[in-house]
Structure 1
Amino acid sequence: MKLHLTGPENHQIKDAITITGSKSESNRSLLLSALFPNIEITNLSNSDDAQVMAKGLQISQGTVDIHHAGTAMRFLTGYFSAQEGKEVVLTGSKRMTERPIKILVDALKSLGAEISYVQDEGYPPIKIKGQNLVKDKVSLPADVSSQYISSLLLIAPSLENGLELELVGKITSVPYIKMTLALLEEIGVETSFKDNVIKVFPKNEIAPVTLVVESDWSSASYYYGICALAAPGTKITLSAYKQQSLQGDSVLAEIYTSFGVETTFGDNKIILKKTDKEVDMENVFDLANAPDIAQTIAVTCFGLGVGCHLTGLHTLKIKETDRLEALHTELTKLGANISVTDKELDIVPSIGILENIAIDTYNDHRMAMAFAPLAMKTTLKVNDAEVVSKSYPDFWNDLRKLGFDIKEL
């Protein structure tokens, strides 16, 4: 599906959008509910990723195909490794077979897991024969994807002796680790996180509990981008959010003050308002704890004609696509002066955006959604626009509610 986008005619928006639950929280909650059936979940994400996660958890034998869902691949690797009697082959899309999983597999093997590679060493598909894991100590490099770490932490309370996980080096993506630990504590599991050692104590059963999934802050980022590029006076209300969020991407509220967007927290909602504050011409952000919002911020800076220096982006190269190279290619097509390394991105302030450019999305939902706010400044085409269903199936319809003119080509 190819879409043609034009922003609202008056460039000023006043509307409200309800966004479904966080993909990150939903997938963690789904795994915990599979381990402890007393858990109920409300405001579950309607994303493709959450659906394949839920479906995968119901399979005991045979092939589990998680398509493009990287989180599901990592979390289900941990889950099936500790499910004695279950035997599956975990596989996914072509891109998924190019995304490394060796660090997690090695960690699980050191605990006693039985995992083998079906094709290439270190990459999916993998064959898992579930075991009763009794070893309780493991270490990981601290700068790996937090999904490897969370995969181990989520299964830890179901293990006979719990788990002691040592992170070696400087830890990245701390908010995602803390999200996992907070959910464990919410269901009554005892944990500790001191220095670089995380302990999760075993829990045979839990009391009935309901986990309420907060709406997705990554999805909110695109409205921050829209608001930043809109006229002063624009006001967008998003539900359902809380000020004390478990999600690292909630740092958006602070970051976007640099772009003239003010965030007000209300009763389970946030109100974004574009002020007449002068936008900073040079913007430096370390996104090691929130890499998923890098694309949105880069596009926002280009759309505003301001510069940025983004660091902490080393995990972006192994996402749905190499997001740094994809950003470089697509922003250059629009006229940006951009350079990237394997962990940083720089944009030089510029004037003017080329019109009617077709943005390629690389099977990456965030590429489609991060570029959409540029329709506030220029006409835009988005190729393979249906890819948004991975995390936010309602995205294009919600933009129409804000006054975007979106036509299928």
Structure 2
Amino acid sequence: MDIQLRPQVIFDGLHFKITGSKSETNRLLLLQAIFPEIQLQNISASDDAEVMAKALSASDRIIDVHHAGTAMRFLTAFFAAKEGSEVEITGSPRMKERPIRILVDALKSLGAEIEYQETEGFPPLLIKGKKLTGSKVSLQGNVSSQYISALLLIAPKLESGLELELLGELTSIPYIKMTLSLLEKIGVKTTLIGNSMMVAPKPRSLSPEHVTLTIESDWSSASYFYSIIALASAGTSVTLSSYRQNSLQGDSALAEIYSPLGVDTIYSNNMITLKKRKCDPKPLLLNLSNTPDIAQTLAVTCFGLGIPCALTGLHTLKIKETDRLQALKNELEKLGAAVSITNNSLQFPASAEINQNIAIETYNDHRMAMAFAPLSIKIPIIIKDAGVVSKSYPGFWDDFERIGLNVIRS
């Protein structure tokens, strides 16, 4: 399905209930598989969460995670530590290009039995679950936080827990802290000192206060509303729920990041109201090593505002659903930007005009579709393969239509 978007007057003051955080949901679904007494509320409606839940409850020998990178990493660790199981985890053609050796090597050092079925270092994997006897592992600190979180999440299953040391510079720290915080919420003791962390073995049972958890709504999904408000006229506002000011999600940095772009964030009763004020935005220079998932949204916002943009800390974007740096360069240049990229950065000068009626390729990447959609406030634009948004935000186009944008499905 392709979607044509055309500018219309934005409805002011609407309230949207955003689905639960995909990041929190997938972590808690895995912990629920270890501690069945856990009850979860506001579970993410995303494809990724559905894949995760299905895989954890399935009896099939072959598990296909499709494009769900988080599920691939988390399930690899889970089944490696599930005694007596034998599964093959596979995925889409793109998933088979996404490296997993770092995690596999770490699990093998703990005693796991894992074999590559096609290309060395990449999925699919044959995993024979067994009791993991190791209790210490070291990883480079600049690897994907999903590798680190996968190990931390299975740590309660290990007889002696896990001591994990990260070497060198750390990236995506908020996602690691999220994992540790969720473990604490269910009663598992954790310690984080410098680059070292420890997770204790699981308690025999959870106390009642640790059993029912409400998942916060997804801040990454909120980013598209930040972009809409940033590109809208002064005074426009929208309210989103359910959000906490002391969020575990790294992307809650949106509130601070978008303030210089004219968007105020007002917290009240587990809701946030985003309101546009008059603003003369300056060039945006940011290191997004802790919040790489909002890079595409920010780049498009800056382009739409006609301001220069220089983003660094983006080294993990090349191994996402697509090479997001190259994809951003391709599509922004079609719209009239002059984009330069390296292995970990993207930048462009201000553009005076935006080319209209451009068809944006989404590369099977949900964030490409949603990041470019807010430009329709300013110009007509076409989003190819628009159904890809179901990976993280199935109701995205319905909400876009409700906010007043002209959404034409074809």
Please say whether Structure 1 and Structure 2 have the same fold, judged by a TM-score greater than 0.5. yes
CA offset at residue 60 of structure 1? 4.1
Partner residue, 2:330: 329
Instruction: Tell me how far 1:8 sits from its aligned partner.
Output: 2.5
**Which residue of 2 is the match for residue 219 of structure 1?**
221
Show CA shifts across 1:126-172 (max 9, x none): 00000101210001110000000000000101111100001011110
Instruction: Report the residue type matching 1:271 in the other structure.
Output: T
Distance in 1 of aligned mates of 2:355 and 2:16: 29
Find the counterpart in structure 2 of residue 88 from structure 1.
Answer: 87
Pick from 265, 268, 274: which aligns with 1:266? 268
Q: 1:174 is matched with which residue?
A: 173
Residues 90 and 96, structure 2, Cα contact 8 Å, conserved in 1: yes
Please report how far the alpha carbon of residue 326 of structure 1 lies from its aligned counterpart in structure 2 after TM superposition: 0.1
| Cα distance per residue 1:225-276 (max 9 Å; x no partner) | 0000000010010011010000000000000011100000010110000001
The superposition leaves residues 194-214 of structure 1 with CA deviations (integer Å, 9 ceiling, x where unpaired) of 011110010133224111100
Residue aligning to 2:2: 2
Q: Which residue of 2 aligns with 1:391?
A: 392
1:12–1:232: 8 Å Cα contact kept in structure 2? no
Deviation at 1:349, TM superposition (A): 0.7
Q: Which residue of 2 aligns with 1:149?
A: 148
Contact 2:11–2:404 (CA under 8 A) maintained in structure 1:
no
1:242 aligns to 2:244 (yes or no)? yes
The answer to whether the 8 A contact 1:324-1:345 is kept is yes
Q: Secondary structure of the residue that 1:44 maps to in structure 2?
A: coil
Hey, what does 1:202 align to over in structure 2?
A: 201
SS in 2 for 1:346: strand
Count the aligned residue pairs: 407
Residue pair 2:141, 2:166 contacting (<8 A) in 1 also: yes
CA distance in 1, matches of 2:162, 2:400: 44
Deviations 1:264-301 (A, max 9, x none): 00101100000012211x11111000000000000000
Supply the AA of the counterpart residue of 1:361. T
Instruction: Map 1:24-103 to 2 at 5 A.
Output: 24-103=23-102
Name the SS of the counterpart of 1:361 in structure 2.
coil
Aligned-residue sequence identity (percent) comes to 60
| Structure 1 residue aligned with 2:184 | 185
Instruction: Report the AA paired with residue 220 of structure 1.
Output: A
Q: CA deviation at 1:12?
A: 6.1
Q: Is the 8 A contact 1:227 1:234 kept in 2?
A: yes
Write the distance in 1 (CA, Å) between the matches of 2:67 and 2:248.
24
Query: What is aligned with 1:136?
Result: 135
Gaps of 5+ in 2: none
Task: State the one-letter code of the partner of 1:248.
Answer: G
Q: State the one-letter code of the partner of 1:155.
A: I
SS of alignment partner, residue 167 of structure 1: strand
Q: 1:13, CA displacement in angstroms?
A: 3.1
- Which whole-Å deviations, capped at 9, do the CAs of 1:295-351 have from their partners, x for residues lacking one? 000000000000111010000000000000000000000001111111001010110
Report deviation, 1:63: 0.3
In 2: Cα distance, 1:59 partner to 1:114 partner: 20
1:61: how far off?
A: 4.6
Counterpart CA distance in 1 for 2:352 and 2:14 is 29
Whole-angstrom distance in 1 between the partners of 2:194 and 2:406:
51
Moved over 3 A (4+): none
Does the 8 Å CA contact 1:236/1:271 hold for their aligned counterparts? yes
Give the stretch that moved more between structures: 58-67 or 389-398. Answer: 58-67
